[in-house]
A and B are shown apart, each in its own frame.
Chain A
């Protein structure tokens, strides 16, 4: 029997630093900005604040002291809580994913964090080790792996399988190189990320420095003439490129995709190392997405729709490396997940679909229109851009949309300026839907939708296909019973 263990004390320091960081604005205000102020009011606030921090720190210590975990033969137990006790326990066989993250400040201490995810769709059912030493993390992984292996051997001896499946046989499928990363950073030309960063800095600084006037003057200069507007734009783009470069190297540097018989492993990160694995059997569908720029450069992002649960990884939709060449993306999915096959979908949308797409209400355009006329009439120049973008996008969506449902596979291709490819197998679809609006009925069109298991469920639809094909689609789904065998209940 094992002794209950505690988390690494670094967890305590981490949460204390976090507590201070969360209150940084407040601390600056009451201790730095009001240094000269010795009024009783400010003093009492300071004392009160220090008291609260002290109490919280004591609670933290108690919490750390009371947070223990223990491994038994087949399960993990975690105990938390000083006043409200919580006992959390999961069976090792229920563990689906192990996620390991090493924040940069943990690294010098050889400490890391682990999350054990279960099959349950609720992320609360995961066990988190906020801080454990590297050796302990390796021990935990080892324990879970050896349990799995034991289970595997039992299964094998029961089914008399000939092949010896070794868990250690990992194949590396992809590693990122600098060239791809540089290209990727150009692609993530998110001008948008500057804005929130600038705004946050601005907001924080405003109270301390007379920065508002500086910014106002700057804005006045920048918007004075078309020249300065252009120059500012150029500067912003260069800034965005630089930020993009640093960001991509930090998040996608040292990216590695590998797999064994049962799982796919993703390792990434330059500073914050991140490692995660996903069971192949949990992948429900594959989605490949191209932004307009990526389409032009023939790159795709592979997304795996899975039952794995972690909010940080986008609620069950997990992105493999987002900057793969489309060709490589296709071969990689074949290597990793042979149960899915990506083939060319052939059926196009009927002619009426174009009409249908054109007469849909352009909501985005209308909202922008209303916004411009009510608040900012000087922004009217973006209206034609949005208008043309909307309708060109719709036209290409009509041209590019394709679908097929043959055997047990379904494929959708869609998208105007961006593009999406979606594929899944019939037995992974948990629900189908066919809808028709009044105009679609008149034109003989319908929208089909499939639902896959994920967190939350993943819905994928294709609008304006021939209504007869929509009926065939329902019939096709009716053959799902061929793909699954059932243990009928005894009646």
Chain B
């Protein structure tokens, strides 16, 4: 099944943002926007929910903390307690001050790497993946709005195009995917 897509190409992010607002006002669903840098204020306009990656990072961090506590307890207190320099290992709490640096480092390690791995996963980016931006100029100086015709049955195609034109799109391309 072929999908009809309209691409509105802009050369300024503020013009694109106003155009997106105008289109949303008419009830047009904007599928995606491709830009060379983040456009602030765009996400709520085109209906993108805030990412939950930072929540994930918090849990990865907590995982790191727990692992570090478990590891120091097991190795230093439970499995093979050592008496180094007259400082015996009786309980985890007594030795805790010495374990804080490693616990901190493992928390940061797990939070950072866990978050970045999740980020690569949910963004579906990895070495060898083919880029799917519609136009190579969108990583340079052009801002491209993608509207799927099939998703916008209520608004006439000609009206979408005329709004794009009147709000400052420098090019309008229609494609069959």
The answer to whether A and B assemble together is: no
